[in-house]
Amino acid sequence: MYNKQRSVHSFIRGLTRADYAEIQGYLSEIAENNDFNASLEKNRTGYGRNQFPGWGWGIGMTLGTVLYTLCRKVKPDVVIETGVASGVSSSYILCGLHENNNGVLYSIDLSWREGQSGWLVPDYLRYRWQLIMGRSSDKLPPLLGGLKTIDIFLHDSEHTYQNMLFEYQAAWTHLRPGGLLLSHNIDTNNAFPDFCESVGLKGHVLDNLGGLLKN
């Protein structure tokens, strides 16, 4: 196994206790999903490249496949993410829910470009998606209050210490036992290690993606 592949397996195993074959099965599944990959490519080249020549790959394809695998393994009813932009993370999460034939993704985004959040997301996956426009500090508390319990939370919005800690604390209270708290860009500041210490748990790390399994 290449080092990168080993890190991916170890991160997913640490969070879900899935074995090698199961993880590899889900990673192969998304790599070989022609409908999904063709839809992303169509939106990326036809829409993204023409309208947003400078856009980046959001959370990136490798971490996208990790999100997909986590969703396939955990089989969540409710996923929340903050920070959509073009919608790379949203697309991979929604694809996992679609393959599970279960679950809803709630995404909160402070309009990245007016009316354009999530332009990369394939149309055929949008039926499991609720996109909420606004600041996470305003939108997350009422969303969590209404849902009561969530299975997976992903932070990828404003990477300030204060906002990251606020989101982790808010989501953690509503996360079910066995649920996952995930955060992109944990290398921006100490919010993730400080939060792990505050709840007395060891965080798992893959590049700049952090993950915590709630006991």
Ligand X SMILES: C[S@@+](CC[C@H](N)C(=O)[O-])C[C@H]1O[C@@H](n2cnc3c(N)ncnc32)[C@H](O)[C@@H]1O
Query: Which chain residues interact with ligand X by CB under 6 A?
Result: 58-59, 82-89, 108-110, 112, 135-136, 156-158, 163
- Which C-beta is closer to ligand X: that of 131 or that of 201? 131
Q: Tell me the pairing of strands 204-206 and 150-155.
A: unpaired
| Rounded least distance, CB 138 to ligand X, Å | 8
- Which C-beta is closer to ligand X: that of 16 or that of 89? 89
- Which C-beta is closer to ligand X: that of 43 or that of 86? 86
| Rounded least distance, CB 189 to ligand X, Å | 15
Dihedral sign for Cα 15, 19, 23, 26, please.
Answer: negative
Inter-CA distances, 144 with 81, 139, 149, 174, 215, Å: 12, 9, 7, 7, 19
Q: What Rg, from alpha-carbon coordinates, does the chain have?
A: 16
| Rounded least distance, CB 183 to ligand X, Å | 11
- Which C-beta is closer to ligand X: that of 50 or that of 201? 50
| Rounded least distance, CB 69 to ligand X, Å | 16
| Rounded least distance, CB 31 to ligand X, Å | 18
| Rounded least distance, CB 106 to ligand X, Å | 12
Phi, psi at residue 155, to the nearest 5°?
-95, 125
- Which C-beta is closer to ligand X: that of 133 or that of 147? 133
**What span, in angstroms and rounded, lies between the C-alpha atoms of 116 and 70?**
27
Give the residue ranges of DSSP H helices in 106-160: 136-147
Q: Tell me the pairing of strands 175-183 and 209-213.
A: antiparallel
- Which C-beta is closer to ligand X: that of 134 or that of 178? 134
Phi, psi at residue 119, to the nearest 5°?
-65, -20
